[in-house]
Amino acid sequence: MTRSSPVRVLATSFIAAALAAAVDTVLTLGSNPDPARASLRLGLAVSPLLTETAWGCPAGLIAGWRFGGAGVAAAAVIAPWALGIVLDAWRAGQTTVALVIVGIIVTLGGIALGRLAVDAAAGMARVPAAPRRLVWTAAVLALLASALSVTRSGLRTFGGGTGPCASGAAPAGPNILLVSVDALRADTARRMRSYQRLAAAGIEYTEHFTSSPWTLPSIASLMTGLPPDQHRAGLSLSTYALLAKTPVPAGLPSLPRTLG
C-alpha cells in the first residue's frame, strides 16, 4: 500500500469532515427552515462544520498515518458520521424498512463523499504551493471566525435568559415540558419507541385537534390560546416568497410569558 504524506492525509480528513458537515447543515436547515434569529441561523449552519472537523481531522489523521493512506483517513471520518445518521434514525423509532433504505442511501452517499474527499485532496496537492497555502489559510481563518462567532452568540443567548433559573425562583407547581414535532402523524407517532416510552410514563390523549394545517399558526395558537385569525401569525407577506410569513406578534400574551 502506498503511504500518503501527512499533509495529504490531513487535507483529506478536513475535506471529508467538511463534506459530511455540509450534508448535516442541509438536513438541519431543512428541518429548521426559518429560525427566528440570525445568530441561530448561523449556529445551525456552522455547528456541524465545527463538530465534524473537531473530531474528524484527528481521527482521519491518526487512521491515515497508522494504516497508510488518504482513503483510510476519509473512511475514518465518513464511517462514524454515516453510522450516526443510521443510529439517529433507529433511536427515532423508524421502521425496519425505513432503516434499510436510510442505510443504503447513507452508505452510497458516504462512499461518494469519501471518494470526493480523496480526489479533492489530490487535486489540491497539484496546485502550486503559494495558492495552496492561501486556500488553507483562508479555510482555517474562516473556521476560527465561525467558531468565535457561534461561541459568542451562544454564550450571549445562554446568559440572556435560557440558562437555569435561580434557586429562589423555582415554581411552586410542576415543570411543563412541551415536545412538538413537525409533520408527524398521530398513528405514526404511536409506533415510535420514544413516543411509547413517554406515553408509558404519563398520560396519552387519543383525540387530537389543531387550529391550522401547518406549523407556525398552529404553534402560535397553542402558545397564545388564540385562533389564527386573531394572532395572525403565518400570514403571507409575499406572493413570490413562500417562507415570507408574518411572525408571532412580540407583545402578544403567551403561555411562556405567563409561566415565566
CA 157 to chain centre: 18
Spatial distance between the Cα atoms of 69 and 73, rounded to a whole number of angstroms: 7
The stretch 228-242 carries a mean pLDDT of 66
Q: Whose grid coordinates read 465545527?
A: 50
Q: In the 8-state DSSP scheme, what is residue 190?
A: T
pLDDT band at 101 (very low <50, low <70, confident <90, very high): very high
Percent of the chain surpassing pLDDT 90 = 6
For residue 22, the number of C-alpha atoms closer than 13 Å in the C-beta half-sphere is 10
The grid coordinates of residue 24 equal 448535516
| Type of residue found at 78 | I
Strand partners, 236: 245
| Type of residue found at 159 | G
Strand partners, 15: none
Residue 166: per-residue pLDDT = 54
Spatial distance between the Cα atoms of 76 and 199, rounded to a whole number of angstroms: 39
CA 61 to chain centre: 25
Residue scoring higher pLDDT (119 or 53): 119
Spatial distance between the Cα atoms of 235 and 238, rounded to a whole number of angstroms: 9
The stretch 186-214 carries a mean pLDDT of 83
Residue 201: per-residue pLDDT = 87
Instruction: Estimate the share of the chain in helix, then strand, then coil, as percent rounded to the nearest 5.
Output: 70, 0, 30
Spatial distance between the Cα atoms of 219 and 102, rounded to a whole number of angstroms: 30
The stretch 22-36 carries a mean pLDDT of 66
The stretch 27-55 carries a mean pLDDT of 66
Residue scoring higher pLDDT (4 or 205): 205
Give residues with Cβ within 8 angstroms of 189, minimum separation 6: 181, 195
pLDDT band at 52 (very low <50, low <70, confident <90, very high): confident
pTM above 0.85, yes or no: no
pLDDT band at 250 (very low <50, low <70, confident <90, very high): confident
Residue scoring higher pLDDT (23 or 154): 23
Strand partners, 245: 236
pLDDT band at 185 (very low <50, low <70, confident <90, very high): confident
Residue pair 74/117 in contact by the 8 Å Cβ criterion? yes
For 107-155, what is each residue's pLDDT tens digit? 999 999 999 998 988 888 888 888 888 888 888 887 777 677 666 555 5
pLDDT band at 160 (very low <50, low <70, confident <90, very high): very low
3-state secondary structure of 236: strand
pLDDT band at 240 (very low <50, low <70, confident <90, very high): very low
Is 60 exceeded by the pLDDT of residue 39? no
Spatial distance between the Cα atoms of 166 and 172, rounded to a whole number of angstroms: 14
Is 60 exceeded by the pLDDT of residue 44? yes
